[in-house]
Chain A
Amino acid sequence: MNRILAASVFGLSLATSSLAYAEPVKIGVITTLSGGGAGLGIDMRDAFTLAMKQSGNKDVELVIEDDAQKPELAVQIAEKMIQGDKVDLMTGIIWSNLAMAVVPNTVAQDVIYLSPNAGPSALAGANCNPNYFNVAYQNDNFHEAMGQYANKDYKNAFILAPNYPAGKDALTGFKRYYKGALAGEIYTQVGQTDYAAEIAQIRASGADSVYFFLPGGMGIAFMKQYAQSGVGIPVTGPGFSFSQDVLPAIGDAAIGVKNSATWSKDLDNEANKKFVDAFKAEYKRLPSIYAAQSWDTANLILAALSKADVKDKDAFRAALKAADFKSVRGEFAFNNNNHPIQNVYIREVVKEDDGVLTNKIIATAFEHHKDAYAEKCAM
């Protein structure tokens, strides 16, 4: 009797387990979790895992690895994930130079990659790929918005960015819409922490405004040194330079600075309210733009999974492209090159009543904005 009971229990457990483990979907997440750029990657990872957790989807398995902001390491991890872990999808990379090292080779092996942040121009135009979806933006977008907005007040801007793909895209994007003169243009080193030499040049240039793109710790260092130097020329930047991850460290020097972004904490839609509340409740801090984009990436994947089998690549790609999910950025659609069509806003840094520095939207720079490279894409 006991034996029969044991056998049937065993048989039942086999049956249920084979049901529960139908086909787990493996998602490889390569992001920056150590070193100076870790703040960005941690926000990305935290939002992604939170979105997965809240969905209650038990079939998704995450493989998360730290790239330490090193391209060579990211390439190794990507190979390991594709060959060893046999992941179905990949995402997570923050930095454009790492994306350039990993993405082309990944999509060539017919693995779908969804970018939660980096959007180098080289992957948006002629080299676009059906397996590459950018859920964040094309790198130029934020800067285009600020270039457009600068025309209102400024005639002679001084611009600077780090010497890497996103830095070049940044200044190209700014110049595409900015009509005034340039007082100077500087490329700094990636990871540079002392900007005294550049600030001296800004002081001597006779510029009426400064536009800088320096993500992570670079922006904190620049902004503090700029405020202390007493130059006094107004600064503007993309949202990355004044994102929630760096504002506390910059301090009051950031108050009143205008910056551009596709998302802000106060953006008025249902999905965004839910996201900000959930993130605050789970991690006891405000989400950054990186967290918002990552949350959208996770929800896009979940929406596509509910419509198509990840093993059926064509169907799954079509499900992704439909972008049938509630974005925290409001309206969201994919262009022909799998890059977003979305609004870009101008934000201002404010101090809230509880003393926390954050951004609020003051204007809309572009509605349903498309990137400049889409027409070169054959898809």
Chain B
Amino acid sequence: MFTTLLIEQLLNGLQLGVMLFLMAAGLTLIFGVMGLINLAHGSLYMIGAFACATVAAATGSFWIGLIASLAAAAGVGAIIEVAVIRRLYDRDHLDQVLATFALILILSEGARWLFGSFPLYLDIPPQLQGAVALPGGGQYQLYRLAIIGVGVVVAAGLYLLISRTRLGMRIRAGESDREMIGALGVDIGTLYTVVFALGAALAGLAGALVGALQSVQVGMGEPVLILAFVVIVIGGIGSIKGALVGAVIVGVVDTMGRFLLPSLLALTMPASQATTIGAALASMLIYVVMALILAFRPSGLFSAHS
């Protein structure tokens, strides 16, 4: 019984990790290429979820909603890049944080104005309802397995995009020397817009996928954003590989901590006390892990700029 539970919890950790990877990949790409700290990334996640919920409610199809979420997040991302972000590349990080924080407020209130304050309804598609049997007699929800699958496909796709295509070559070149590729005649402006829209689309995808599991509401992006920042700090800022490894570490550590810590503490203290203290410790655990990793690898596990 315990092994099945352990396997199920590992899969839960992996699923959380994959979802964080979709967020962190865009965040780290944007930081790596443009040197921009984008706090509004969580808002793009929210836009993806709202677009999916609205379109799915109107058409009755989750899949059309999913496409809409990619389009909406990428579209809003491109508009934001051209209208606001473009003016921030040469400014220091404090200005960027301030401006993108303003974007969070504007986008949140905008979403509230358009959709209201009450959560929207979004259900998982009928094809992915139900659970599948795990080896060893356990059961696991099909939809969460599908999220893990999407994460693997996106990770492989990003790897191919960056290492095998012309766009990827320009992204890598942009990461190492921005002025030089500009001098070589590459249109930096367009490249930046494309990278920003790509990162936004990944965030929108994550929002839509998770929206079907959770509630689609204003402000849903900010808690995820904090975790995504932890991920890219652990993984090394600017590194896609680091984002993947960091996301899986954070996902698994967080899930396992919530599951194992209260039971471990229960061995040494009364059960009700153990659940309270265990819950408090579990919520700190990923930050402890982050501090430990930074103590030994100050620039993260796979820093792109080391």
Contacts and interface: CB of A to CB of B under 8 A. Distances in A.
Interface of A: 33-36, 38-39, 42, 163, 168, 185-189, 191, 193-194, 196-198, 200-201, 203-204, 217, 220-221, 224-225, 228-230, 245-246, 248-251
B12 A249 contact: no
A42 B215 CA distance: 18
B279 A163 contact: yes
Contacts of A248: 118-119, 121
B303 interface: no
A194 B16 contact: yes
Contacts of B218: 34-36, 38
A189 B219 contact: no
Contacts of A250: 121
Interface in B249-273: 255, 258-259, 262, 271-272
Contact of A187 (B4, B213, B223, B276): B276
A203 B280 contact: no
B193 interface: no
B141 A228 contact: yes
Given A39-B117, A204-B5, A249-B119, A194 B214 contact: yes
Of A42, A193, A228, most B-chain CB atoms within 10 Å = A228
B217 A217 contact: yes
A196 B16 contact: yes
Contact of A186 (B124, B223, B279): B279
Nearest to A185: B275
B223 A191 contact: yes
Interface of B is mostly: helix
Contact of A249 (B118, B213, B262): B118
Given A217-B217, A221-B213, A196 B12 contact: yes
A259 to B, nearest CB: 18
A34 B112 contact: yes
Contacts of A203: 5, 8, 139
Contacts of B61: none
Given A186-B262, A197-B258, A220-B215, A251 B121 contact: yes
Interface in B5-60: 5, 8-9, 12, 15-16
B117 A220 contact: no
Interface in B100-131: 108-109, 112, 117-121, 123-124, 129-131
A200 B12 contact: yes
B197 interface: no
A168 B280 CA distance: 13
B143 interface: yes
30 contacts: A36-B217, A36-B219, A38-B219, A39-B117, A163-B279, A185-B275, A186-B279, A193-B215, A193-B223, A194-B210, A194-B213, A196-B141, A196-B144, A198-B258, A200-B5, A201-B259, A204-B1, A204-B2, A204-B4, A204-B8, A220-B215, A221-B213, A224-B212, A224-B215, A225-B214, A245-B118, A246-B215, A248-B118, A249-B120, A249-B215
Contacts of B131: 229-230
B130 A230 contact: yes
A132 B99 CA distance: 42
Given A38-B117, A185-B275, A186-B279, A251 B215 contact: no
Contacts of A42: 117
A89 to B, nearest CB: 25
A193 B214 contact: yes
A187 B279 contact: yes
A224 B214 contact: yes
Interface of B: 1-2, 4-5, 8-9, 12, 15-16, 108-109, 112, 117-121, 123-124, 129-131, 139, 141, 143-144, 210, 212-220, 223, 255, 258-259, 262, 271-272, 275-276, 279-280, 283
Given A36-B217, A229-B141, A197 B259 contact: yes
B223 A249 contact: no
A186 B278 CA distance: 9
A39 B1 CA distance: 40
A196 B218 CA distance: 22
Which 7 A-B pairs give the minimum distances between C-beta atoms? A220-B215, A249-B119, A196-B12, A221-B214, A187-B279, A230-B131, A217-B215
Nearest to A219: B215
Contacts of B143: 228
Nearest to B118: A39
Contacts of A249: 118-121, 215-217
Given A36-B220, A204-B5, A217-B214, A197 B120 contact: no
Contacts of B1: 204
Nearest to B129: A228
Contacts of A217: 119, 214-215, 217, 220
Nearest to B255: A197
B139 A163 contact: no
Contacts of A245: 118
Contacts of B15: 196
A163 to B, nearest CB: 5
Contacts of A201: 5, 259
A340 to B, nearest CB: 27
Contact of A200 (B8, B212, B214, B283): B8
A188 B255 CA distance: 12
B271 to A, nearest CB: 7
A39 B217 CA distance: 10
B259 A200 contact: yes
Given A197-B255, A249-B121, A230 B139 contact: yes
Given A163-B280, A196-B12, 17 more contacts: A34-B218, A35-B218, A163-B283, A186-B275, A188-B279, A194-B16, A194-B214, A200-B8, A217-B214, A221-B213, A221-B215, A224-B123, A230-B141, A245-B118, A246-B119, A249-B118, A251-B121
A213 to B, nearest CB: 14
Contacts of A194: 16, 210, 213-214
